[in-house]
Amino acid sequence: MKSDSVKKGMQQAPHRSLFNALGMTEEEMERPLIGIVSSYNEIVPGHMNLDKIVDAVKMGVAMAGGTPVMVPAIAVCDGIAMGHIGMKYSLVTRDLVADSTECLARAHAFDALVMVPNCDKNVPGLLMAAARINIPTVFVSGGPMLAGRVQGHKTSLSSMFEAVGAYTAGKMSEEEVKEYEQKACPTCGSCSGMYTANSMNCLTEVLGMGLKGNGTIPAVYSERLKLAKHAGMAVMELLKKNICPRDIMSEKAFRNALTMDMALGCSTNSMLHLPAIAHEAGVDLNLELANEISAKTPNLCHLAPAGPTYIEDLNEAGGIYAVMNEISKLGLLELDCITATGKTVGENIKGCVNKDPEVIRPVENPYSSTGGIAILKGNLAPDSAVVKRSAVAPEMLKHEGPARVFDCEEDAIDAIKGGKIVAGDVVVIRYEGPKGGPGMREMLNPTSAIAGMGLGSTVALITDGRFSGASRGASIGHTCPEAAVGGPIALVEEGDIISIDIDNHRLDVKVSDEEMAARKEKWQPRKPLVTSGYLARYAAMAAPASRGAILEI
């Protein structure tokens, strides 16, 4: 066992003295040392219950003959960080999580790990760490929040942000906003739609790193505690069989993840995180593969914000395995991939039926014949841009309009709320990429303001930043190359006509090559907004969004 290097032999007597200081018995030191990476904190609603999840995991590990030891991981609540400098610190925590977990696991010679994440960048950060450390590992998240209920209708955080836009437009009173405020987020857990946290927890199941129900069992259900105990037991089985993350997260597993991403209609942030996780696993995941897979993968789910159903509904309909079983009818999944259950994907999903065809459409009756996410290219995005096609109004799949150009999110919000954006406009928000932001902020505030003011089916938004999974509409992000490095988005001028053709994967500005070249000659890099601290280091090392915004050494 790896932990023998800190527990066995005369040279390790000082180490054992420190284990004694922890109150650890000789019997515990004889067992495998299992690190339980806890993302518990008291500021993220999706993490406030993780202490109970961790206790259940520890019980499962102990029942199966291991010695569980809890160590911490950080997490940021994207909702609380939204719309101010805090959002610059969201994506960048992904690498802090991966790096710190690597340090803890290696320094203390853990034999195996159980990762307990829940929200946003914390999940992919721990998946990156798992691939990098490559010792037997199982994931169990804290689970999704239940949907809120306002005036008899289910609702969620995205409705809350849009309510603010509706209030600004005079369509909602302060009292009505207050009701949403009190009821939109009724329980602990990751926000209740198919936003980034739930997207990544669901895809953790698909990748094979989490057990059945990891992505969908609500945080407040006792079934979640049982799942955590089983995760603790499962990691001991993986340790016995020496099944490690890189055995599970193979190239085939990532193809499965992209396929299910399209079927589920996940957050566009998955197009940042999957390549980054694959990179740590030694797999080259080219984003162009996404369109190839999307072309033959039907979109079966319209979960909030794309539709009126929520993660709790997906759970009742049979969960992720039921969607996988439905998609497998088309021969689109690699069924021989090994998973954290110790079984293959095919064995896992056998007999997992779709219990609600309104929540999980049958493959014979999909929402669309192609997947929920599209990768766009063109002279405005020579490398790539990303859009959640399943959340775009049909009339906006093809659109042309004048560019309304802003060099930061705040200026765009002021214009939107000031009534300066009208039907047909294409809002361009630049210098918000990994390097330019720095930190690639989410643009949930401007998209929610647009939707709340009734412009969601007539106004598009393009950025080199990114979007929350709670965003809906013609919201095109991850535009590469970004403005900070002189990408074409930096050269767009007010009034330029921008052409969007999502079905044909095109994003162009109707300006001649000669004119764009002349503008590039005159372009000057902006002075960095941040020159010290972690954000400055991140900006110096960040790769393009098309490569997952990973940090390059």
State the binding site for Mg(2+).
78, 120-121, 442
Classify burial at 49, counting beta carbons within 10 Å of its beta carbon; exposed 0-12, middle 13-18, buried 19 or more: buried
CA 55/CA 7 separation, integer angstroms: 24
- The pairing of strands 497-501 and 398-406 is antiparallel
Q: Where are the beta strands (DSSP E) in 207-292?
A: none
Q: Determine how β-strand 374-378 pairs with β-strand 153-155.
A: unpaired
Helices (H) and strands (E) in the chain, counts: 22, 14
Residue 390 bears catalytic tag:
no
CA atoms within 13 A on the CB side of 367: 23
- Beta strands 426-429 and 460-463, pairing class: parallel
Cα angle for residues 400, 437, 475 (degrees, 5° grid): 30
- In contact, 510 and 433? CB cutoff 8 Å: no
As beta bridge partners, residue 397 has none
Paired residues of 455 in beta bridges: none
- Output the CA torsion sign for 540, 546, 547, 549: positive
Give me the DSSP letters along 370-424: S-S-EEEEETTEEEEEEE-GGGS-GGGSEEEEEEEEESSHHHHHHHHHTT---TT
> Which of these is catalytic: 158, 250, 294, 468?
468
Q: Which of 274, 215, 208, 211 is nearest to 246 (CA)?
A: 208
Both tokens of residue 451?
Answer: 């939707």
- How far from the centroid of its chain's Cα atoms is residue 142's Cα? 15
Of 365, 398, 388, 415, give the one whose Cα is nearest residue 508.
Answer: 398
Catalytically annotated residues: 468
